[in-house]
Amino acid sequence: MSDTAPQTADGKVLWHFAMSLDGFVAGPDHEMDWMTGVSVRPGLHEEYVTTTGAILGGRNGWDQAIDGGRPYGGAWQGPIFVLTHHPEDATPAAGVTFLNCGPAEAVRIGLAAAGGKNLEVFSPAIGRQLLELRLIDEIDLHIVPVLLGDGIRLYDNPGGEPVRLHRVGDGDPMAAVNVRYRPAT
Ligand SMILES: NC(=O)c1ccc[n+]([C@@H]2O[C@H](COP(=O)([O-])OP(=O)(O)OC[C@H]3O[C@@H](n4cnc5c(N)ncnc54)[C@H](OP(=O)(O)O)[C@@H]3O)[C@@H](O)[C@H]2O)c1
């Protein structure tokens, strides 16, 4: 099976994450050091810098961002929207708008700000809500060769119904993805 095609800027709502092989997008205390040393295909970073019009995140993710660090190592400059039930105690930051509204309204605001490019959703909790509302266009993942065993899951919905997916790209949309790893020595 081939790698994904380069991302395109089509005004999509993307649930976009680097994820451990066992489905975590952050460690138990929001650690992200498990991504250190991982290589990606040439140009991947730039793909997202150019196709992303706006970012929608959750308050926990924002509060954990080091010194208000911006996505893509600062290479991307665009509007960031952070959903929170208590925007009044958020630390203001340039280019960041704290929203206290429903997830559908947050998407409407984010897409309007994205100006025809994609809205990236950087929050597991908000992505789950948007899936239920059928407002996610694509789930875009970069699988990191590590098993974390604990942390914040991409999709945490105990007792929920399975969410069926179709693979984007050529070929059978129901095809399983085969990967093969060995423990690193
Ligand atoms: N692996 C990757 O590529 C990647 C990318 C981005 C982020 N991350 C990580 O992902 C983790 C995300 O953390 P998380 O899952 O704990 O939290 P989160 O999704 O970032 O934030 C959850 C918070 O968002 C707010 N929220 C969610 N839905 C809301 C709604 N409908 N209305 C109002 N507010 C709403 C609430 O904040 P209030 O409690 O303030 O109301 C909620 O507590 C972070 O560790 C971050 O570093 C990983």
Banded pLDDT at 39 (limits 50, 70, 90): very high
Expressed in angstroms and rounded, the spacing between residue 61 Cα and the centre of ligand 1 is 5
* Residue 85: both structure tokens together: 């039930």
By most ligand atoms within 8 Å of CB, the mutation choice from 19, 20, 25, 156 for ligand 1 is 25
Higher pLDDT, 160 or 2: 160
- Quote the CA–CA distance of 69 and 72 in Å, as a whole number: 9
Banded pLDDT at 185 (limits 50, 70, 90): confident
Whether residue 20 has its Cβ less than 6 Å from ligand 1? no
pTM of full prediction above 0.75? yes
How confident is the model at residue 66, as a pLDDT? Answer: 64
How confident is the model at residue 1, as a pLDDT? Answer: 47
Place of tokens 């952050």: 26
Banded pLDDT at 3 (limits 50, 70, 90): confident
Expressed in angstroms and rounded, the spacing between residue 117 Cα and the centre of ligand 1 is 22
Determine the average pLDDT of the residues in 42-48.
95
- Quote the CA–CA distance of 155 and 23 in Å, as a whole number: 8
How confident is the model at residue 69, as a pLDDT? Answer: 80
Give residue-wise pLDDT tens across range 150-175: 999 999 999 999 999 999 998 999 99
Give residue-wise pLDDT tens across range 70-113: 899 899 999 999 999 999 999 999 999 999 999 999 999 999 99
Query: What's the chain's average pLDDT?
Result: 94
Map residue 151 onto helix, strand or coil: coil
By most ligand atoms within 8 Å of CB, the mutation choice from 48, 62, 84 for ligand 1 is 84
Atom number in ligand 1 closest to CA 27: 45
- Mode of pairing for the β-strands spanning 13-20 and 138-144: parallel
Determine the average pLDDT of the residues in 127-143.
97
Q: Name the percent of the chain lying above pLDDT 90.
A: 88
Map residue 70 onto helix, strand or coil: coil
Atom number in ligand 1 closest to CA 62: 20
**Contact call for residues 136 and 13 (beta carbons, < 8 A):** yes
Whether residue 48 has its Cβ less than 6 Å from ligand 1? no
Distances (CA, A) of 11 to 8, 27, 84, 108, 136: 9, 30, 24, 11, 11
How confident is the model at residue 73, as a pLDDT? Answer: 87
Residue 65 has pLDDT above 90, yes or no: no
* Residue 47: both structure tokens together: 């793909």
Whether residue 130 has its Cβ less than 6 Å from ligand 1? no
